[in-house]
Structure 1
């Protein structure tokens, strides 16, 4: 049995004898607790999107389900095939035809083996799993007819603090689209300082959504150096020259701020190379569109590079729970992105948020129940 798989599992042979009898899908809707506004690249994000949920059933009566984001899948491609040809508990999906079922098959295997997904992945991380609210957008700029200013951002932070979050990721980059460049930069700095003053004990992160330049990033780091940022995310489209300038500045000033990237349309090999060169500290490929199996496969290279991971999870609250299972299973993920809200028709009450961390259920699979 591979070393990363716990030796006390019932055994991978438990998947033998299960054939895929049916694969079906439905759409589920996420609901945010408030309307989410703009960031440096995009307009208002609304009150929650819908997404495809895929359920896999075997001839032995087992089932598992999970979300899918991507091109329209061929749901019939795996029907009639043995489960063990599609999925290995030690590796994940082993047939590319089954990748749209990535989350569903992890859930299914965990249920058949009788263990939570994070245990199937090795249980190398820490539980509960630290998280941050990723829902602090440009609330100061809305509504357009009567912008709320700083109070809009601080109100969003207060709501998420009351919900149990103890870390905030602040969207910045207002000068990229929505304000004159210098005025937007000044507002970015003002917002970060105001949130730090209001929440001196919170962990603060910022996300530029590629709305900055290397020069502006360095200027921003100087402007907020007293704010004790945990990381800066996606300051500009990844390129070694700009990241090297930022790294040299961080080293020169003795800053501990981490540089996180790899979320938007990543060239994964390039991202890994940048990490190995010491230019990135945290890799952010998405938990769904990049995938659970893909994260399992590259994590040894992440560790070899001496960096951290934090799979992008924005969009759906369930993505946060998947990322938490990945963190608890693989380790090397110190904090996950949390999406405040709920998913209609899904019972996720096994997961609880308290004092900035997510407690995971002991239920097999992901411990999520569709139709609950």
Structure 2
């Protein structure tokens, strides 16, 4: 580094409460997602009094292996975190490095995208099925869309796959179609995405796509467990009935090297590994490979509102990311006022790091 190379003096891992605006229900595979839970974050301090922080997911690492090291041992401005064992601090190290260099993360990443990033609503779950003793029906899903539209969202990702676990297969598939069509009728100009969480098989999902072909879906996500042959067959069917709809894959247990040849054959249009657990460092290496193949990226962000902010910085920095996942809600003790969310677009700040002051005690 040519500017400053501070030494890490401490790493503190703390929990911050996360709050959704409502209880979020089930998806095709899992039960209720609750009201938010706790976000685990790492705060890194240095001998120059610079600080960086960010979400830390997974098992964590050895703090003693980080404290006492110069920042240049841990992260390279051009490529990201140097060693696999330090990737649990990927977000915090990028924040710290950008703070030290007095630049926003999106500039550190190259500034190849637009600072105003389209964001869709990722919180439209299977709330029609709750509660068990008196299910509210499709009106509950429409009400959630209305609430989130009032909060500024212009597009909705609908969870589907009710027939995988929660309803009779035929009845669940019919409900998926009904709700998809009713959302389109209520919001004729909205982007509509659907996410099956692997809750269909190829034949069943092709039937669903036939039934909503005129809806104009922006993308279909994780329709069934990854299989190169099935994805090729889905792409052929998609081309016939809804050619503008993208196929998005890569969230669930992604084998990225196995998915890349499938994407290069244009059987996957969008890869969406998680912005934190996959991480900025890996995304920095991957996005140029995708651009050469005409494949888009859109990092998974569900669960933590902070992830949406990171994904937007990544989109503004790396380019090739036309839309990111929005997680309605807030994280206690975090001042995100530098981010402006208007008409379905999130504008990232020109403040150092991620533009988020270190959480107050």
What range is the shorter-chain TM-score in? over 0.9
Q: Does 1:280 align with 2:265?
A: no
Give a deviation string over 1:142-195, Cα, whole Å, max 9, x none.
111111111100000001000000000000000000000000000000000000
Quote the Cα distance in structure 1 between the aligned partners of 2:188 and 2:37: 33
Please give the residue correspondences for 1:288-303 in structure 2 after superposition, counting only pairs within 5 Å: 288-303=276-291
Q: TM-score scaled by structure 2?
A: 0.98
Deviates more, 1:109-118 or 1:247-256: 247-256
- Which stretches in structure 2 are left out of the alignment for 5+ residues? none
Runs (4+) off by over 6 Å: none
Please give the residue correspondences for 1:237-256 in structure 2 after superposition, counting only pairs within 5 Å: 237-253=225-241, 255-256=243-244
8 Å contact from structure 2 (residues 213, 242) kept in 1? no
In the alignment, which residue of structure 1 is the partner of 2:165? 177
Quote the Cα distance in structure 1 between the aligned partners of 2:242 and 2:60: 48
SS for the counterpart of 2:2 is helix
SS for the counterpart of 1:346 is coil
Which of 129, 133, 137 aligns to 1:149? It is: 137
In the alignment, which residue of structure 2 is the partner of 1:266? 254
Q: Does 1:13 align with 2:2?
A: yes
Please give the residue correspondences for 1:74-223 in structure 2 after superposition, counting only pairs within 5 Å: 74-223=62-211
Q: TM-score scaled by structure 1?
A: 0.95
Quote the Cα distance in structure 2 between the aligned partners of 1:83 and 1:369: 20
In the alignment, which residue of structure 1 is the partner of 2:318? 330
- Which stretches in structure 1 are left out of the alignment for 5+ residues? 1-11
Please give the residue correspondences for 1:286-365 in structure 2 after superposition, counting only pairs within 5 Å: 286-365=274-353
Q: Does 1:70 align with 2:68?
A: no
Quote the Cα distance in structure 2 between the aligned partners of 1:112 and 1:199: 45
May I ask how many residue pairs the two structures share in their alignment?
360
8 Å contact from structure 2 (residues 60, 88) kept in 1? no
8 Å contact from structure 1 (residues 172, 206) kept in 2? yes
Quote the Cα distance in structure 1 between the aligned partners of 2:323 and 2:316: 10
Deviation at 1:52, TM superposition (A): 1.5
Deviates more, 1:334-343 or 1:142-151: 142-151
In the alignment, which residue of structure 2 is the partner of 1:5? none
In the alignment, which residue of structure 1 is the partner of 2:219? 231
